[in-house]
Structure 1
Amino acid sequence: MNDRLSLNHPAAKVREAFIYSFPVHDLAQSRWEYSQKTAHPQYTPPNVLRHNRALLDHRARTVTTPNNDTLYSSAWLDLADGAMLLSLPDMHDRYFSFAFLDIFTNNVACIGRRTTGTAAQTWLLAGPGWHGTVPHGAEVIRLSCNDVWMLGRLLVDGEEDLGNVHAIQDAITLRPLDSTGVPRLLQSVPQESSPEHYLDLVNEVLGRNPLPPHESELFESFEAVGIRPGQKGAWHMLDPDVRDAWSSTHQANLASLTVPPPGTRHTAGGSWTGGPDHLGRFGADYACRAFVSMVGLGALEREEAIYLTTQTDEAGMPLHGSHAYRLTLPGNVPVDAFWSLSMYEITPDGRRFFTENTLGRYALGDRTPGLSRQADGSLEVLLQHARPQGGEANWLPAPAGPFSLTVRFYQPRKDLLDRSFLMPDAVRLR
């Protein structure tokens, strides 16, 4: 145990406990917002599947760096009192995935085109304490937590494909294995800025789920600073100097999560950066886990999708709509599903959103109709605010001010996974 260290240096131990527990709080706060706050526009009770029905555009300002490629399906599962049955129709080789995240935001299972194929399937979603009879034809997914976030993605080939995807969504069912279980609600109301409420929510969620056995000593060391699974009101049992440490460092600890810790960002060619190999399955890299929870909650494992981003050109200068750029992509991008390049305006507070434009185009990729390619199959994308004189086919409209680019590779091949494929930089034309 590290109680003596905790008491002698409470601020250091508080920060360690905060970094460890932040993803637990962040995910639980989202669970409460979406599944218990009835005034929320996307409110959906626990164990009920919700489908987003529209592709995101410049009006989407809730989540930074949105995508324009997939529709999301989501459910906040509580598996403590029973298993759930998830049935999927035949996807006919369409890209899809359903990721299952534990309370720490680790991807603990993933079904989809890459892992389980696209034929019709039924899955029994079982929590750690479930024992029962598996229905005929169902495959079991044994999950390590009772509280699980199920996040699905379905590929959409533009607005004209929405009807086809809606039909698939309507054919997906999620139901309890039996009707006796009642999902539990969180009793602690999230309030991220209050250390007292922060601890209440973290401890409630930790108490609702089995803890990693190999981290028992870590939890013992956190007890002195208020991480006490299942205990309500831990704040009032802390020593005054520990409460002072929480109060004096909490806002700074929250702010620090916007800065990537060492080893989190990896160069992927020139100015492009991507996540580490263990993205989505963080292991003991608690700093990376907390950072990703803050800036990209719900990140997939790299085997499923790789995202690269940049906001500078080949000379290292910030991308800006007052200039024009050319980005040349090779003819054979190493993916087994699809790739897309998205354009984002950068707001004064650093968030990134699609920008309104005359084409209504927020991304382009291997599914974009009418692209003009070079003789060798390469693709020259024009990145600029004004309409190009040579035509709109390869134009990805930029905002008038600063912008960033994100390229997404779904079902990446070996060259992407081993980082031998390098993204070219944007070249400034004027």
Structure 2
Amino acid sequence: MRTNMWNYTGDQKYIYADRKWWNPFVGGVYTFDPNGYLDYDAQAFFAAYATGVTPAMASKAVGVGSQYLCTHTDGEGIALDGAKTYKLTVPANVPAKDFWSFIVYDAGNRSMMATAQKFPAKSSYDAVVANEDGTIDLYIGPKAPDGQESNWIETDPSKGWTGIFRIYGPLEPFFDQSWKLNDLEALP
């Protein structure tokens, strides 16, 4: 199942044609049967990544439910490494009626990354610092870049990781893709 998760080749995996964010609900439905038959590969893909499912997790209704944007690579398609530092520039005006969050998970066991940081996450509820244009630069790595502590998520340098960007109460710009989440960028 893990091989299927990391290398799934089925239709409709990626959310955007030009980005590395993928939908854990391949085909966009929580029943894994978008074509009228049960897609066992899509179901195994999801089971290797997550532990529970509910209709609201795949709802396509504006302002209702949630949407999940997952990645295990940077924008170049290279696996995320806990020893490296990455930047995720979240575009301004995240289309979330309720809130958004980005959480880092251990690639080996799917649990939240265990570090000295209490929660390996940032959200619209946190005191993250926005840029003048409204974008937010999140930094993910073993050490916070100078002056970026409020926007930093700690990783374990001995582990790979995956990330999930969640949008709760997704609004139309998410669905029509006029708002698109940027890929993670590996920093030197």
Query: TM over 0.5, yes or no?
Result: yes
| Structure with the bigger percentage of helix | 1
The runs of 5 or more residues in structure 1 that have no matched partner are 1-253
Q: How does 1:276-291 map to 2 (within 5 A)?
A: 276=26, 278-281=28-31, 282=33, 284-287=36-39, 290-291=43-44
The runs of 5 or more residues in structure 2 that have no matched partner are none
SS at structure 1 position matched to 2:149: coil
Measure, in 2, the Cα distance between the counterparts of 1:378 and 1:265: 26
Greater RCO between the two (CA within 8 Å, min separation 6)?
Answer: 2
Question: Structure 1 length normalisation: TM-score?
Answer: 0.37
Give the C-alpha shift of residue 362 in structure 1.
1.7
1:357 aligns with 2:115: yes
Give the C-alpha shift of residue 376 in structure 1.
1.2
Q: 1:375 to 1:255 in 2, by over 3 A?
A: closer
CA-based RMSD = 2.6
User: Equivalent residue for 1:265?
Assistant: 13
1:307 aligns with 2:56: no
Question: Structure 2 length normalisation: TM-score?
Answer: 0.78
**Equivalent AA in structure 1 for residue 39 of structure 2:** A
Q: How does 1:203-242 map to 2 (within 5 A)?
A: none
Measure, in 1, the Cα distance between the counterparts of 2:156 and 2:146: 17
SS at structure 2 position matched to 1:294: helix
Give the C-alpha shift of residue 386 in structure 1.
1.7
Contact 2:122 2:128 in 1 (8 A): no
Contact 2:13 2:27 in 1 (8 A): no
Give the C-alpha shift of residue 335 in structure 1.
1.3
Give the C-alpha shift of residue 407 in structure 1.
0.5
SS at structure 1 position matched to 2:174: helix
SS at structure 1 position matched to 2:173: helix
Which has the higher Rg, Structure 1 or Structure 2?
Answer: 1
Measure, in 2, the Cα distance between the counterparts of 1:255 and 1:421: 30
Deviations along 1:47-97, one digit per CA (max 9) or x if unpaired, are xxxxxxxxxxxxxxxxxxxxxxxxxxxxxxxxxxxxxxxxxxxxxxxxxxx
SS at structure 1 position matched to 2:180: coil
1:390 aligns with 2:147: yes
Q: How does 1:60-99 map to 2 (within 5 A)?
A: none
2:83 to 322, 327, 333: 322
What percent identity do the matched residue pairs reach? 21
User: Equivalent residue for 1:226?
Assistant: none
Q: 1:276 to 1:420 in 2, by over 3 A?
A: farther
Q: How does 1:330-369 map to 2 (within 5 A)?
A: 330-347=91-108, 351-368=109-126
Deviations along 1:357-389, one digit per CA (max 9) or x if unpaired, are 223122111111x21111111111111112332
Give the C-alpha shift of residue 290 in structure 1.
3.3
1:421 aligns with 2:179: yes
Measure, in 2, the Cα distance between the counterparts of 1:367 and 1:302: 23
Measure, in 1, the Cα distance between the counterparts of 2:110 and 2:100: 19
Contact 1:325 1:426 in 2 (8 A): yes
